[in-house]
Structure 1
Amino acid sequence: MQRKKWFSRTGIAFLIFIMVVAAKFMDKTHSIAEIYVFGDSLSDTGMVFRATGGMYPPNPTYFQGRYSNGRVWIEYLAESLHLSSKQTNNFAYGGSTTGSVGNSYVPSLLNQVQSFTQTHQPTNPDALYVLWAGANDYLQGVSSATVPIKNLTTAINSLTDAGAKKILVGNLPDLGQLPATKNSSNSVNLSALTQAHNQGLRRSLKILSQQHSDIEIVQLDASALYRNAITNPADFNFTNVISSCLAGVGDASRRHRACSNPDQFLFWDGIHPTAAAHRIIGKTAFSAIQEAGMINPRSMLVP
C-alpha cells in the first residue's frame, strides 16, 4: 500500500514537472504579435516616398515607394507571420546610414531607434524588432567597419533596454559585387569592408547574446543568401544575377526601361533586389526565426 502511494505521488510530481517545462517552452515559442523595422532602402516601404511627396523613388519605375518593382522582404516576412499592415511598424528610410555619415536628409538607424524608444516605453516583448543597415555607410565612403558595428550594437542595446526580447539583425551582401559596383575601382575594397562588417557583426551579436540571456537575437544571413543565388541561380529560378533589370541605371533618360522578365533577375537596379529576390529574403528570414524557436512551427505556415 505504501509503495502504491509512493508511485502515485511520484507520478503526480513528474506530471507537474512535465507541465511546467512544457509551459515554459510554449511561452517561449508563442506567435510574434508585431514587427518593428529599422534600416535603409532594403526595408523602406514608403517613408522616403511620403517625405518627398511621392517624387522619390519615382513611380512607376519603383513600386509604390519601395526601392524595387514590388513588395520588399519585410512585407513577405509579415505575411508569413500572419501579421497585418497595422501590426507592421516600419521606421526604415532609403539612404539611411547606421549613424551620422554623409546624408543628413534622412534619419540614421540610431535616430530611428531613438525616435521609437522615446515614444514606446515600455516596448512590446512579444514583438519582433528588425535591424538591417550598414551598406550606405560603406557606399558613402566609410573605410572601417568599427563605427557601423558600434552603431548597430548601440541600437540593439537601446531596444533591449526598452524591453525588446526578440531581435532579427541582417548582415550585408557583398557590396563589391553589386551591378553598380562590381566593375568599379572600389569593388575590391567594398568586398573587404563587407567581410569585415559581417565578421564584426557576428562577434558583436554573440557577445550581446551572452550578456542578455533573456534576449533572443537571430541573424539574417543575407551574405550567404546572395552568394548562393549568384553561384547557383537556377536554384532560385534566376537567369540573370549579374546585371540589373532596369536598363541604363544612372541615365535618367533610360531609367524607365525595365526588362520583360523581372522575376528572373536578382537585381532590380544597380543596388536593390527585385521583388522576386525580396520574397526569397523574406522566406529566409522566416526560416531563421522559426529555427531559433521564436515562433511555434506548428502554428505557422509559409505562404
Structure 2
Amino acid sequence: MKKHFLAAGFALLSAMMVALVAPMQSSNSSNTIQISHQVNQLYVFGDSLSDVGNVFHATGRAYPPNPPYFQGRYSNGPVWVEYLASELALTPEQNTNFAYGGATIGNGGINGIPNLLAQVNSFTKTHRQVNPNALYVLWAGANDYLHGATTNPKVLSDSLSTAIQSLSKAGAKKILVANLPDLGKLPSTNNSSYSSALSSLTAAHNLSLAKSLNVLKQELGSDTQIIELDVYSLYQQAITDPAKFGLTNVTSACLNNAASCSNPNKFLFWDGIHPTTAAHQILAKTALKALNTKLSLPPRSEVLR
C-alpha cells in the first residue's frame, strides 16, 4: 500500500470535515473508593479523543467551534477521560491533560501539534520523579493513518513503547494504553475507496501494539502495571449490537452540515470521526472495568450499566 494513496484519501476526508465545520464559526460505590485509594492522580497523553480543550485554548477558543462542539471537546459533551476521572473520584486539580486534537504518535507531529511522544518527553523532562500512584493514559495513532503519515504500524508501536518506557523509568506504575477502533468504519471513511485499506491498517496496528505491550510487560515486570483498553472490540460490539449500549445509530454522524440530530445520546458518532459524549461514557466505563480487573478489584455492578 502506498503512502500517497492514504494521503490522497485523507485529503478527501479533510475536505469532508472542512465542509462540516466551515459553516460554524460518581458514583460513590465501594469499588470507586477502593480504586481511588490506588489511583490518586490522572495524566493523559493523546489526540482529539482525549483533548479537553488544549487546541481550543491554543486557537483562541476558535476550534473546535463552540457550538456545536462542547467547550473545546471534539464531541457534544465531556470526553471519556473526564468521565473516568469522575469515576475515580478525582478532582480537577488531580487531572493533567496533555492531549491535543490532531496529534500523531510520532513523525514529528502535524501543524506544530505536539505528538504523543513529544507530550510524554515534555512531561518526563520536567518530572524526573513522577507519582507512582497516578494513572497514565496513552491513546493515539488514528491521525498517523488518517493523515497518511505512515503505513508501518511497527513504527508507531515502537514509539508507544518508547513513551511507556520513559514513563516507567520516571516512576510510573500504572499505565493505561488504548488500541484503535476500526478506522475504516467511521462515518467519514465507511463508504470511501480507502475504507478497506484503513481497516487493514487498524488490524495491523492493534496486533503490533499488543505484541509490543506483551514484550514490555516482560521487560518491566509486575511492578509496572500496563492496562490494555480494547477500544476496537468495544466499537465492534456497539456496531453489531447497538441496543446493548442504548444506541440506535452506529454508522452515521449526528452532526451533519452544522445541524445536529435530535437524539445524540442514541448515536455512536458525533461527527465523521469522533464519538458522542454518550459513547465516551461507555468508553470510560469500559476503561474502569479494565482497571478493576487489572488492579484485582471486585467487579463493579454499574460498570456496564
**Cα deviation, residue 299, structure 1:** 10
Query: Could you say what secondary structure the match of 1:38 adopts?
Result: strand
Out of 277, 280, 302, the position equivalent to 2:279 is 277
Q: TM-score, normalised by structure 1?
A: 0.85
Deviations 1:78-124 (A, max 9, x none): 11100011111100000000012561321000110011001112000
User: Distance in 2 between the 1:160 and 1:172 partners?
Assistant: 23
Deviations 1:45-77 (A, max 9, x none): 000000001000000110000000000000111
User: Is structure 2 residue 222 aligned with structure 1 residue 220?
Assistant: no
Out of 94, 99, 102, the position equivalent to 2:101 is 94
User: Distance in 2 between the 1:48 and 1:298 partners?
Assistant: 36
User: Distance in 2 between the 1:66 and 1:234 partners?
Assistant: 26
Alignment correspondent of 1:37: 44
Alignment correspondent of 1:63: 70
Alignment correspondent of 1:289: 291
User: Distance in 2 between the 1:51 and 1:288 partners?
Assistant: 33
User: Is structure 2 residue 54 aligned with structure 1 residue 47?
Assistant: yes
8 A Cα contact 1:67 1:272, kept in partner: yes
Query: Could you say what secondary structure the match of 2:43 adopts?
Result: strand
Q: Which amino acid aligns with 1:292?
A: K
8 A Cα contact 1:101 1:137, kept in partner: no
**What fraction of aligned residue pairs are identical, expressed as a percent?**
58
CA 1:155–1:300: 2 relative to 1, 3 Å = farther
8 A Cα contact 1:102 1:140, kept in partner: no
User: Is structure 2 residue 199 aligned with structure 1 residue 191?
Assistant: yes
User: Distance in 2 between the 1:86 and 1:72 partners?
Assistant: 17
8 A Cα contact 2:35 2:88, kept in partner: no
Query: Could you say what secondary structure the match of 1:172 adopts?
Result: coil
Alignment correspondent of 1:12: none
Deviations 1:257-292 (A, max 9, x none): 000000000000000000000000000000001100
User: Distance in 2 between the 1:75 and 1:211 partners?
Assistant: 31
Alignment correspondent of 2:255: 246
**Cα deviation, residue 31, structure 1:** 2.2
Query: Could you say what secondary structure the match of 2:214 adopts?
Result: helix
8 A Cα contact 1:35 1:87, kept in partner: yes
User: Distance in 2 between the 1:28 and 1:211 partners?
Assistant: 26
Write out the 4+ residue segments of structure 1 that deviate beyond 6 Å after TM superposition.
Answer: 298-301
Q: TM-score, normalised by structure 2?
A: 0.85
Out of 218, 223, 229, the position equivalent to 1:210 is 218
8 A Cα contact 1:29 1:293, kept in partner: no
User: Distance in 1 between the 2:266 and 2:118 partners?
Assistant: 36
User: Distance in 2 between the 1:70 and 1:215 partners?
Assistant: 33
Q: For 1:1-20, what aligned pairs fall within 5 Å after superposition?
A: none
8 A Cα contact 1:56 1:65, kept in partner: yes
Gaps of 5+ in 1: 1-26, 248-253
User: Distance in 2 between the 1:184 and 1:101 partners?
Assistant: 28
Alignment correspondent of 1:136: 143
Query: Could you say what secondary structure the match of 2:38 adopts?
Result: coil
CA 1:84–1:104: 2 relative to 1, 3 Å = same
8 A Cα contact 2:289 2:299, kept in partner: no
**Cα deviation, residue 300, structure 1:** 11
CA 1:46–1:167: 2 relative to 1, 3 Å = same
Coordinate RMSD, CA, aligned: 1.9
Query: Could you say what secondary structure the match of 2:184 adopts?
Result: helix
Q: Which structure's CA Rg is the greater one? A: 1
Q: For 1:68-217, what aligned pairs fall within 5 Å after superposition?
A: 68-100=75-107, 103-141=110-148, 142-213=150-221, 214-217=223-226
User: Distance in 1 between the 2:92 and 2:237 partners?
Assistant: 31
